[in-house]
Amino acid sequence: MGSNTLDLEQKVFTEPSAAQHDGIVTSPKTSDSVAEKEPEPDLTYDTGLKAWLQVLGSFFLFFNSWGVINTWGAYQTYYEQELLVGTSSSTIAWIGSLQSFLLMMIGVITGPLFDAGYFRALISFAAFLLPFGLMMTSLATKYWQLILSQGVCVGLAAGCLFVPSVAILPQYFRKKKGLANGLAASGSSIGGVVYPIMFDQLQKKVGFAWATRALGFVCFGTICISVSIMRARFQPKEKRKLWQLSSFKEPAFTIFAVAMFMGFLGFYNFLFYVQSYAIQTGIVDSNLGFYLLSMLNAASTCGRIGPNFLADHVGPLNMLTPAVTITAILAFVWIRVHTVPGIIILAVFYGFFSGGFVSLPPVVMATMTSDVRNLGTRMGMVFAVTSIGLLIGTPIGGAILSDTNEYLGVQLFTSCCLTTSACLFTTVRFLRSGPNLRSKT
Protein backbone atom coordinates (compact mmCIF):
# COMPACT_ATOMS: atom_id res chain seq x y z
CA MET A 1 0.00 0.00 0.00
CA GLY A 2 1.21 1.45 -1.96
CA SER A 3 1.54 0.69 -0.28
CA ASN A 4 3.61 0.41 -0.67
CA THR A 5 7.23 -0.22 2.74
CA LEU A 6 7.63 -3.14 4.48
CA ASP A 7 10.61 -3.87 6.57
CA LEU A 8 11.05 -7.24 8.24
CA GLU A 9 7.98 -8.59 6.57
CA GLN A 10 7.56 -11.55 4.32
CA LYS A 11 10.76 -13.39 5.12
CA VAL A 12 12.64 -15.08 7.90
CA PHE A 13 16.25 -15.79 7.25
CA THR A 14 18.32 -18.39 9.03
CA GLU A 15 21.85 -17.03 9.08
CA PRO A 16 24.99 -18.86 10.04
CA SER A 17 26.57 -17.12 13.02
CA ALA A 18 29.49 -17.42 15.34
CA ALA A 19 27.15 -18.50 18.14
CA GLN A 20 25.96 -21.46 16.07
CA HIS A 21 29.51 -22.68 15.53
CA ASP A 22 30.39 -22.14 19.20
CA GLY A 23 27.41 -24.23 20.20
CA ILE A 24 28.79 -27.37 18.51
CA VAL A 25 30.37 -29.68 21.04
CA THR A 26 33.46 -30.95 19.26
CA SER A 27 37.13 -31.38 19.81
CA PRO A 28 39.38 -28.54 18.74
CA LYS A 29 40.51 -30.57 15.74
CA THR A 30 36.94 -31.20 14.59
CA SER A 31 36.03 -27.56 15.09
CA ASP A 32 38.95 -26.47 12.94
CA SER A 33 37.87 -28.93 10.28
CA VAL A 34 34.35 -27.56 10.27
CA ALA A 35 35.70 -24.05 10.01
CA GLU A 36 37.81 -25.05 7.02
CA LYS A 37 34.93 -26.72 5.21
CA GLU A 38 32.28 -24.15 6.06
CA PRO A 39 33.88 -20.73 6.41
CA GLU A 40 31.61 -18.23 8.08
CA PRO A 41 30.31 -15.67 5.56
CA ASP A 42 30.81 -11.96 6.01
CA LEU A 43 27.67 -10.85 7.83
CA THR A 44 28.44 -7.16 8.12
CA TYR A 45 25.20 -5.15 8.26
CA ASP A 46 24.17 -1.54 7.69
CA THR A 47 27.23 -0.51 5.73
CA GLY A 48 29.07 -1.02 2.47
CA LEU A 49 28.43 -0.21 -1.17
CA LYS A 50 26.70 -3.51 -1.88
CA ALA A 51 24.19 -2.98 0.92
CA TRP A 52 23.22 0.51 -0.25
CA LEU A 53 23.01 -0.67 -3.84
CA GLN A 54 20.22 -2.97 -2.65
CA VAL A 55 18.39 0.11 -1.38
CA LEU A 56 18.79 1.73 -4.79
CA GLY A 57 17.56 -1.40 -6.53
CA SER A 58 14.63 -1.72 -4.13
CA PHE A 59 13.81 1.95 -4.75
CA PHE A 60 13.29 1.20 -8.44
CA LEU A 61 11.18 -1.86 -7.60
CA PHE A 62 8.87 0.34 -5.54
CA PHE A 63 9.07 2.97 -8.30
CA ASN A 64 7.65 0.47 -10.78
CA SER A 65 5.17 -1.35 -8.54
CA TRP A 66 3.27 1.08 -6.31
CA GLY A 67 4.60 3.97 -8.38
CA VAL A 68 2.78 2.68 -11.46
CA ILE A 69 -0.32 1.81 -9.43
CA ASN A 70 -0.37 5.35 -7.98
CA THR A 71 -0.50 6.70 -11.54
CA TRP A 72 -3.96 5.26 -12.12
CA GLY A 73 -5.76 8.48 -11.19
CA ALA A 74 -4.40 10.13 -14.34
CA TYR A 75 -5.58 7.23 -16.48
CA GLN A 76 -8.99 7.21 -14.77
CA THR A 77 -9.54 10.84 -15.69
CA TYR A 78 -8.32 10.34 -19.27
CA TYR A 79 -10.53 7.29 -19.83
CA GLU A 80 -13.59 9.11 -18.49
CA GLN A 81 -13.00 12.10 -20.76
CA GLU A 82 -11.52 10.52 -23.91
CA LEU A 83 -11.06 6.80 -24.52
CA LEU A 84 -14.07 5.37 -22.66
CA VAL A 85 -16.56 8.23 -22.84
CA GLY A 86 -19.98 6.93 -21.83
CA THR A 87 -18.57 4.21 -19.57
CA SER A 88 -19.38 4.70 -15.90
CA SER A 89 -16.70 5.73 -13.41
CA SER A 90 -17.39 2.55 -11.44
CA THR A 91 -16.77 0.34 -14.45
CA ILE A 92 -13.54 2.13 -15.35
CA ALA A 93 -12.33 1.97 -11.74
CA TRP A 94 -12.32 -1.84 -11.89
CA ILE A 95 -9.18 -1.64 -14.04
CA GLY A 96 -7.23 0.27 -11.38
CA SER A 97 -8.63 -1.72 -8.47
CA LEU A 98 -7.67 -4.95 -10.24
CA GLN A 99 -4.09 -3.70 -10.43
CA SER A 100 -3.98 -3.00 -6.68
CA PHE A 101 -5.71 -6.27 -5.84
CA LEU A 102 -3.24 -8.37 -7.82
CA LEU A 103 -0.26 -6.47 -6.41
CA MET A 104 -1.28 -7.45 -2.88
CA MET A 105 -2.79 -10.87 -3.51
CA ILE A 106 0.05 -12.21 -5.66
CA GLY A 107 2.36 -11.72 -2.69
CA VAL A 108 0.91 -14.90 -1.20
CA ILE A 109 2.54 -16.76 -4.11
CA THR A 110 5.66 -14.67 -4.74
CA GLY A 111 6.65 -14.91 -1.06
CA PRO A 112 7.31 -18.67 -1.18
CA LEU A 113 8.96 -18.25 -4.59
CA PHE A 114 11.35 -15.75 -3.06
CA ASP A 115 12.01 -18.22 -0.24
CA ALA A 116 12.79 -20.89 -2.81
CA GLY A 117 15.50 -18.77 -4.39
CA TYR A 118 13.66 -17.23 -7.34
CA PHE A 119 14.41 -13.60 -6.47
CA ARG A 120 16.10 -12.72 -9.76
CA ALA A 121 13.58 -14.76 -11.73
CA LEU A 122 10.73 -12.74 -10.23
CA ILE A 123 12.14 -9.31 -11.04
CA SER A 124 13.38 -10.47 -14.47
CA PHE A 125 9.89 -11.76 -15.29
CA ALA A 126 8.40 -8.42 -14.19
CA ALA A 127 10.97 -6.57 -16.34
CA PHE A 128 9.28 -8.25 -19.32
CA LEU A 129 5.64 -8.34 -18.18
CA LEU A 130 5.28 -4.74 -16.99
CA PRO A 131 6.49 -3.08 -20.24
CA PHE A 132 4.52 -5.68 -22.21
CA GLY A 133 1.33 -4.78 -20.33
CA LEU A 134 1.86 -1.08 -20.96
CA MET A 135 2.64 -1.65 -24.64
CA MET A 136 -0.58 -3.62 -25.01
CA THR A 137 -2.43 -0.87 -23.14
CA SER A 138 -1.19 1.62 -25.73
CA LEU A 139 -2.89 -0.46 -28.43
CA ALA A 140 -6.14 -1.02 -26.54
CA THR A 141 -9.35 0.58 -27.74
CA LYS A 142 -11.93 -1.45 -25.81
CA TYR A 143 -12.65 -1.94 -22.13
CA TRP A 144 -11.89 -5.68 -22.03
CA GLN A 145 -8.53 -5.04 -23.67
CA LEU A 146 -7.64 -2.59 -20.89
CA ILE A 147 -8.73 -5.10 -18.26
CA LEU A 148 -6.31 -7.70 -19.64
CA SER A 149 -3.38 -5.43 -20.43
CA GLN A 150 -3.45 -2.72 -17.77
CA GLY A 151 -5.41 -4.56 -15.09
CA VAL A 152 -4.04 -8.10 -15.25
CA CYS A 153 -0.57 -7.78 -16.82
CA VAL A 154 0.48 -4.63 -14.98
CA GLY A 155 -1.04 -5.87 -11.71
CA LEU A 156 0.75 -9.24 -11.88
CA ALA A 157 4.05 -7.58 -12.79
CA ALA A 158 3.76 -5.12 -9.90
CA GLY A 159 3.04 -8.03 -7.55
CA CYS A 160 6.22 -9.78 -8.70
CA LEU A 161 8.23 -6.67 -7.84
CA PHE A 162 6.58 -5.87 -4.52
CA VAL A 163 7.69 -8.80 -2.34
CA PRO A 164 11.34 -8.74 -3.51
CA SER A 165 11.47 -4.99 -2.83
CA VAL A 166 10.65 -5.52 0.85
CA ALA A 167 12.20 -8.94 1.43
CA ILE A 168 15.76 -8.25 0.30
CA LEU A 169 16.65 -5.39 2.63
CA PRO A 170 16.52 -7.32 5.95
CA GLN A 171 19.38 -9.41 4.58
CA TYR A 172 21.63 -6.33 4.59
CA PHE A 173 20.27 -4.05 7.33
CA ARG A 174 19.49 -4.34 11.02
CA LYS A 175 19.98 -1.12 12.99
CA LYS A 176 19.30 1.05 9.94
CA LYS A 177 16.50 -1.10 8.64
CA GLY A 178 13.87 1.61 9.10
CA LEU A 179 15.95 4.18 7.25
CA ALA A 180 16.78 1.76 4.43
CA ASN A 181 13.16 0.75 3.94
CA GLY A 182 11.94 4.34 4.18
CA LEU A 183 14.34 5.44 1.45
CA ALA A 184 13.41 2.47 -0.74
CA ALA A 185 9.68 2.93 -0.19
CA SER A 186 9.91 6.56 -1.27
CA GLY A 187 10.25 5.13 -4.77
CA SER A 188 6.52 4.43 -4.81
CA SER A 189 5.56 8.05 -4.17
CA ILE A 190 8.27 9.45 -6.44
CA GLY A 191 7.03 7.12 -9.18
CA GLY A 192 3.59 8.51 -8.49
CA VAL A 193 5.01 11.98 -9.21
CA VAL A 194 7.04 11.19 -12.32
CA TYR A 195 4.69 8.87 -14.18
CA PRO A 196 1.52 11.01 -14.08
CA ILE A 197 3.44 14.09 -15.27
CA MET A 198 5.05 12.06 -18.04
CA PHE A 199 1.70 10.69 -19.13
CA ASP A 200 -0.04 14.06 -19.07
CA GLN A 201 2.64 15.97 -20.98
CA LEU A 202 3.34 13.28 -23.56
CA GLN A 203 -0.33 12.52 -24.09
CA LYS A 204 -0.88 16.14 -25.13
CA LYS A 205 2.12 16.18 -27.49
CA VAL A 206 2.32 12.69 -29.00
CA GLY A 207 -0.98 11.09 -28.03
CA PHE A 208 -2.15 8.41 -25.60
CA ALA A 209 -0.45 5.48 -27.36
CA TRP A 210 3.10 6.84 -27.38
CA ALA A 211 2.73 8.38 -23.92
CA THR A 212 1.91 4.94 -22.52
CA ARG A 213 4.72 3.31 -24.50
CA ALA A 214 7.16 5.86 -23.08
CA LEU A 215 6.15 4.78 -19.58
CA GLY A 216 6.82 1.20 -20.61
CA PHE A 217 10.34 2.08 -21.79
CA VAL A 218 11.12 3.86 -18.51
CA CYS A 219 9.80 0.87 -16.55
CA PHE A 220 12.00 -1.53 -18.51
CA GLY A 221 15.14 0.58 -18.10
CA THR A 222 14.74 1.19 -14.37
CA ILE A 223 13.87 -2.44 -13.58
CA CYS A 224 16.99 -3.50 -15.50
CA ILE A 225 19.01 -1.37 -13.06
CA SER A 226 17.55 -3.43 -10.20
CA VAL A 227 18.26 -6.69 -12.00
CA SER A 228 21.88 -5.70 -12.53
CA ILE A 229 22.73 -4.60 -8.98
CA MET A 230 20.49 -6.60 -6.63
CA ARG A 231 21.66 -9.90 -5.16
CA ALA A 232 20.10 -12.13 -2.52
CA ARG A 233 22.65 -12.54 0.26
CA PHE A 234 21.63 -15.98 1.45
CA GLN A 235 18.73 -18.38 1.15
CA PRO A 236 16.36 -19.13 4.05
CA LYS A 237 16.39 -22.69 5.31
CA GLU A 238 12.81 -22.65 6.56
CA LYS A 239 9.88 -22.69 4.16
CA ARG A 240 7.06 -20.28 4.90
CA LYS A 241 3.53 -21.48 5.48
CA LEU A 242 0.87 -19.87 3.33
CA TRP A 243 -1.72 -19.73 6.11
CA GLN A 244 -1.81 -19.78 9.89
CA LEU A 245 -5.49 -19.56 10.68
CA SER A 246 -4.85 -19.83 14.41
CA SER A 247 -3.66 -16.21 14.27
CA PHE A 248 -7.27 -15.11 13.90
CA LYS A 249 -7.89 -16.36 17.44
CA GLU A 250 -5.87 -13.35 18.64
CA PRO A 251 -8.30 -10.42 19.02
CA ALA A 252 -5.64 -7.80 18.26
CA PHE A 253 -4.56 -9.53 15.04
CA THR A 254 -8.13 -9.99 13.81
CA ILE A 255 -9.11 -6.39 14.56
CA PHE A 256 -5.92 -5.19 12.88
CA ALA A 257 -6.76 -7.15 9.72
CA VAL A 258 -10.30 -5.71 9.66
CA ALA A 259 -8.88 -2.21 10.21
CA MET A 260 -6.61 -2.66 7.20
CA PHE A 261 -9.54 -3.86 5.09
CA MET A 262 -11.74 -0.91 6.06
CA GLY A 263 -8.94 1.61 5.60
CA PHE A 264 -8.00 0.50 2.11
CA LEU A 265 -11.66 0.08 1.18
CA GLY A 266 -11.94 3.87 1.30
CA PHE A 267 -8.38 5.18 1.02
CA TYR A 268 -7.82 4.97 -2.74
CA ASN A 269 -11.11 6.67 -3.62
CA PHE A 270 -9.44 10.01 -2.94
CA LEU A 271 -6.52 9.17 -5.24
CA PHE A 272 -8.82 7.86 -7.97
CA TYR A 273 -11.40 10.66 -8.00
CA VAL A 274 -9.79 13.85 -6.67
CA GLN A 275 -8.59 14.88 -10.14
CA SER A 276 -11.92 14.33 -11.86
CA TYR A 277 -13.68 16.02 -8.91
CA ALA A 278 -11.51 19.12 -9.14
CA ILE A 279 -11.86 19.36 -12.93
CA GLN A 280 -15.56 18.55 -13.27
CA THR A 281 -16.62 20.91 -10.48
CA GLY A 282 -14.64 23.73 -12.06
CA ILE A 283 -12.20 24.21 -9.19
CA VAL A 284 -9.20 23.79 -11.50
CA ASP A 285 -8.66 23.43 -15.22
CA SER A 286 -7.47 20.19 -16.78
CA ASN A 287 -3.82 21.32 -16.79
CA LEU A 288 -3.59 21.90 -13.04
CA GLY A 289 -5.91 19.00 -12.31
CA PHE A 290 -3.46 16.48 -13.69
CA TYR A 291 -0.81 17.72 -11.25
CA LEU A 292 -2.88 17.12 -8.11
CA LEU A 293 -1.91 13.47 -7.96
CA SER A 294 1.75 14.34 -8.41
CA MET A 295 1.54 16.86 -5.58
CA LEU A 296 -0.08 14.24 -3.38
CA ASN A 297 2.60 11.65 -4.11
CA ALA A 298 5.40 14.16 -3.59
CA ALA A 299 4.09 14.89 -0.10
CA SER A 300 3.70 11.15 0.49
CA THR A 301 7.47 10.76 0.07
CA CYS A 302 8.05 12.71 3.29
CA GLY A 303 5.08 10.95 4.88
CA ARG A 304 6.70 7.57 4.33
CA ILE A 305 10.17 8.40 5.64
CA GLY A 306 9.41 10.69 8.60
CA PRO A 307 6.82 8.59 10.48
CA ASN A 308 8.88 5.43 10.02
CA PHE A 309 11.88 7.17 11.55
CA LEU A 310 9.83 8.40 14.51
CA ALA A 311 8.22 4.99 14.95
CA ASP A 312 11.57 3.59 16.08
CA HIS A 313 11.43 5.99 19.04
CA VAL A 314 7.74 6.24 20.02
CA GLY A 315 6.30 2.96 18.69
CA PRO A 316 4.80 2.15 15.27
CA LEU A 317 1.21 1.80 16.45
CA ASN A 318 1.49 5.14 18.22
CA MET A 319 2.36 6.67 14.84
CA LEU A 320 -0.06 4.66 12.70
CA THR A 321 -3.20 5.49 14.68
CA PRO A 322 -2.82 9.31 14.48
CA ALA A 323 -1.84 9.05 10.80
CA VAL A 324 -5.06 7.19 9.93
CA THR A 325 -7.14 9.49 12.13
CA ILE A 326 -5.84 12.65 10.46
CA THR A 327 -6.29 11.06 7.01
CA ALA A 328 -9.95 10.39 7.92
CA ILE A 329 -10.42 14.00 9.03
CA LEU A 330 -8.94 15.23 5.76
CA ALA A 331 -11.39 13.03 3.86
CA PHE A 332 -14.24 14.85 5.63
CA VAL A 333 -12.58 18.20 4.85
CA TRP A 334 -12.68 17.20 1.16
CA ILE A 335 -16.46 17.81 1.24
CA ARG A 336 -16.03 21.53 1.92
CA VAL A 337 -13.09 22.28 -0.41
CA HIS A 338 -14.10 24.39 -3.41
CA THR A 339 -11.09 26.61 -4.13
CA VAL A 340 -7.77 26.14 -5.93
CA PRO A 341 -5.57 26.73 -2.83
CA GLY A 342 -7.86 24.52 -0.79
CA ILE A 343 -7.68 21.50 -3.13
CA ILE A 344 -3.89 21.83 -3.46
CA ILE A 345 -3.37 22.02 0.32
CA LEU A 346 -5.77 19.13 0.83
CA ALA A 347 -3.92 16.94 -1.68
CA VAL A 348 -0.56 17.71 -0.06
CA PHE A 349 -1.79 17.01 3.49
CA TYR A 350 -3.65 13.88 2.44
CA GLY A 351 -0.51 12.61 0.74
CA PHE A 352 1.70 13.28 3.75
CA PHE A 353 -0.46 11.66 6.43
CA SER A 354 -1.64 8.79 4.27
CA GLY A 355 2.03 8.05 3.57
CA GLY A 356 2.30 6.95 7.19
CA PHE A 357 -0.88 4.92 6.87
CA VAL A 358 0.38 2.85 3.94
CA SER A 359 3.96 2.39 5.19
CA LEU A 360 3.62 1.69 8.93
CA PRO A 361 1.35 -1.41 9.09
CA PRO A 362 4.18 -3.90 8.34
CA VAL A 363 6.23 -2.42 11.18
CA VAL A 364 3.25 -2.78 13.50
CA MET A 365 2.83 -6.39 12.40
CA ALA A 366 6.43 -7.08 13.37
CA THR A 367 5.77 -5.86 16.93
CA MET A 368 2.56 -7.93 17.12
CA THR A 369 4.27 -11.19 16.12
CA SER A 370 5.97 -12.96 19.02
CA ASP A 371 7.62 -15.63 16.86
CA VAL A 372 9.45 -13.98 13.97
CA ARG A 373 9.26 -17.23 12.00
CA ASN A 374 5.52 -16.60 11.59
CA LEU A 375 5.83 -12.97 10.49
CA GLY A 376 5.79 -13.62 6.76
CA THR A 377 2.78 -15.90 7.02
CA ARG A 378 0.78 -13.47 9.15
CA MET A 379 1.70 -10.57 6.88
CA GLY A 380 0.59 -12.56 3.84
CA MET A 381 -2.81 -13.16 5.44
CA VAL A 382 -3.25 -9.46 6.19
CA PHE A 383 -2.27 -8.65 2.60
CA ALA A 384 -4.89 -11.09 1.32
CA VAL A 385 -7.60 -9.42 3.41
CA THR A 386 -6.41 -5.94 2.41
CA SER A 387 -6.36 -6.83 -1.28
CA ILE A 388 -10.13 -7.46 -1.22
CA GLY A 389 -10.68 -3.93 0.09
CA LEU A 390 -8.46 -2.59 -2.69
CA LEU A 391 -10.40 -4.59 -5.27
CA ILE A 392 -13.90 -3.45 -4.38
CA GLY A 393 -13.33 -0.04 -2.75
CA THR A 394 -12.95 2.22 -5.78
CA PRO A 395 -15.64 0.49 -7.86
CA ILE A 396 -18.02 1.05 -4.95
CA GLY A 397 -17.04 4.72 -4.98
CA GLY A 398 -17.58 4.81 -8.73
CA ALA A 399 -21.00 3.17 -8.39
CA ILE A 400 -22.02 5.78 -5.83
CA LEU A 401 -20.82 8.51 -8.19
CA SER A 402 -22.70 7.04 -11.14
CA ASP A 403 -25.97 6.70 -9.21
CA THR A 404 -25.95 10.17 -7.65
CA ASN A 405 -23.88 12.05 -10.23
CA GLU A 406 -22.41 13.93 -7.26
CA TYR A 407 -19.16 13.48 -5.36
CA LEU A 408 -20.67 13.85 -1.88
CA GLY A 409 -21.45 10.15 -1.64
CA VAL A 410 -17.88 9.19 -2.61
CA GLN A 411 -16.47 11.65 -0.10
CA LEU A 412 -18.64 10.32 2.72
CA PHE A 413 -17.85 6.72 1.82
CA THR A 414 -14.10 7.46 1.88
CA SER A 415 -14.19 9.34 5.17
CA CYS A 416 -16.45 6.83 6.94
CA CYS A 417 -14.26 3.88 5.93
CA LEU A 418 -11.13 5.67 7.17
CA THR A 419 -12.85 6.72 10.40
CA THR A 420 -13.86 3.11 11.08
CA SER A 421 -10.29 2.03 10.41
CA ALA A 422 -8.93 4.66 12.83
CA CYS A 423 -11.31 3.48 15.57
CA LEU A 424 -10.22 -0.13 15.05
CA PHE A 425 -6.52 0.77 15.15
CA THR A 426 -7.20 2.64 18.40
CA THR A 427 -8.83 -0.51 19.77
CA VAL A 428 -5.77 -2.55 18.84
CA ARG A 429 -3.56 -0.02 20.57
CA PHE A 430 -5.52 -0.28 23.85
CA LEU A 431 -5.68 -4.08 23.63
CA ARG A 432 -1.89 -4.18 23.45
CA SER A 433 -0.93 -1.57 26.02
CA GLY A 434 -4.05 -0.47 27.86
CA PRO A 435 -4.71 3.19 28.70
CA ASN A 436 -0.99 3.95 29.19
CA LEU A 437 -0.43 6.67 26.61
CA ARG A 438 3.34 6.61 27.13
CA SER A 439 3.69 2.96 26.20
CA LYS A 440 5.95 2.42 23.17
CA THR A 441 3.61 0.24 21.11
Give the model confidence (pLDDT) of 71-123 as tens digits: 887 888 789 888 888 888 778 888 988 998 898 888 777 777 776 778 888 89
Residue 439 domain-assigned?
no
Separation CA 378–CA 17 (nearest Å): 26
Asked whether residue 24 is assigned to any structural domain, the reply reads no
Average of per-residue pLDDT across 65-74: 85
> Domain for residue 23, yes or no?
no
Closest CA to 53 of 225, 278, 273: 225
What pLDDT score does 242 carry? 67
Q: Is residue 371 part of a domain?
A: yes
Span 175-183, average pLDDT: 74
Decide: 159 and 103 in contact? Cβ < 8 Å: yes
The answer for residues whose C-beta is within 8 angstroms of residue 329's C-beta and 6 or more apart is none
In a domain, 332, yes or no: yes
Residue 400 belongs to some domain of the structure: yes
Does 8 reside within a domain? no
Tell me, yes or no, whether 86 lies in a domain: yes
Say what the pTM is: 0.76
E strand intervals along 61-138 = none
Q: How far apart, in whole angstroms, are the C-alpha atoms of residue 351 and residue 293?
A: 9
The rounded distance, in Å, linking the Cα atoms of 28 and 6 is 43
In this structure, what CATH number is given to the domain that contains residue 366?
1.20.1250.20
Domain total of the chain: 1
Domain that holds residue 360: 46-433
Mean pLDDT of 13-35: 37
